[in-house]
Structure 1
């Protein structure tokens, strides 16, 4: 199994089928472990993390992106114990940031994005996740947030395993600035990156910026 081998052993560009299966099994186990730990958090603890993460995100936007004004920022609707950034979404909207939410329009294809405002009447999308309605304005994000199940110091994200976010980053041109957001406690030594994995530009947790890549494609 991948977790039984030193991280240096793995070539990130390797395509060996057996290795890929080992990594997939390891990721599945880590995904379950991290989600279980998240589920065990109290409501108060999860709220504290959400408040801290929102402050850290606002600070990052101010320091690097003029607060996000004039930009399209893709956020997310929280599910499965993810940090809840909805209060910040409304605040940023009031400050002149255009907010978009991602959704699945076609299975196994890049995500689409629709504009969100505090007055948007949400509808149920895939997996019963609330999304803006079909008549909402389609958007292309300048900055996109990616919720993290896990993360590593190289800037790679462990997600839910569907590959939607990597597929979306690969398809968008120009590629938006990508910011992984999640719990500081979800840090992994490595996710054993595979050829399809795309490192994020920033990893941001409730403890602040953990990764900032200096070079982007």
Structure 2
């Protein structure tokens, strides 16, 4: 019998925590992210404040920002539980405040609509479907996205968290990511696999 999403989360969290402790894996992941973003050339990137086990993109984002003064980065805030995320511009050293679930959020009130989102994954499959924490925040965010086109979505994951049989219990609201970056490379799926772009 196939495992449920809940069972996969329980199984993969310690696996991801161990994988994320590997400095060579994180260096390789950063290099693959750098190559993919260089190809896509977004002007603004939304990312996430890392929780234990998640790839920490803050150093990479800081370097990406420093290379071009016109680039912008943003972090999400949760206005209320089970609501779409709102993104606000962020720079290294910017004031932060504690948000829902104890996750730091930008104190800035300057709203952002990033061109590309880095999305943390507990697990993922070859079709680009993501196993998250079960809160549905990213699904609701994309469903309610106010811009004329959706941002490209890039999952941040580790190969040890690949679900070969596919993420279970896919619903009508589940959208595949456009790419998944791991220490092994950038796996193009969704719109990027078909040659489409949101911009």
- Shorter-chain TM-score bucket reads 0.7 to 0.9
Match of 2:143 in 1: 170
* Number of residue pairs the alignment of both structures matches: 188
The superposition leaves residues 111-168 of structure 1 with CA deviations (integer Å, 9 ceiling, x where unpaired) of 00011101302211111111111x3411011100101100001110000000000111
Secondary structure at 1:145 match in 2 = strand
The superposition leaves residues 164-201 of structure 1 with CA deviations (integer Å, 9 ceiling, x where unpaired) of 00111111131101111111111002013211211111
RMSD, aligned CA = 1.8
Gaps of 5+ in 2: none
- 2:155 is aligned with 1:155: no
Check whether the contact 1:183–1:206 (CA below 8 A) recurs between aligned residues. yes
Question: Matched residues in 2 for 1:41 and 1:63: separation?
Answer: 26
Match of 1:98 in 2: 72
The superposition leaves residues 2-25 of structure 1 with CA deviations (integer Å, 9 ceiling, x where unpaired) of 44xxxxxxxxxxxxxxxxxxxxxx
The superposition leaves residues 88-121 of structure 1 with CA deviations (integer Å, 9 ceiling, x where unpaired) of 1111111232000012112211100011101302
**TM-score computed with the length of structure 2 as normaliser:** 0.87
Structure with higher Rg: it is 1
Check whether the contact 1:114–1:137 (CA below 8 A) recurs between aligned residues. yes
Match of 1:16 in 2: none
Q: CA deviation at 1:42?
A: 7.6
**TM-score computed with the length of structure 1 as normaliser:** 0.80
Secondary structure at 2:150 match in 1 = coil
Secondary structure at 1:160 match in 2 = coil
- The structure with more helix, counted as a fraction of residues: 1
Check whether the contact 1:90–1:118 (CA below 8 A) recurs between aligned residues. yes
Gaps of 5+ in 1: 4-25
Secondary structure at 1:200 match in 2 = coil
Match of 1:200 in 2: 177
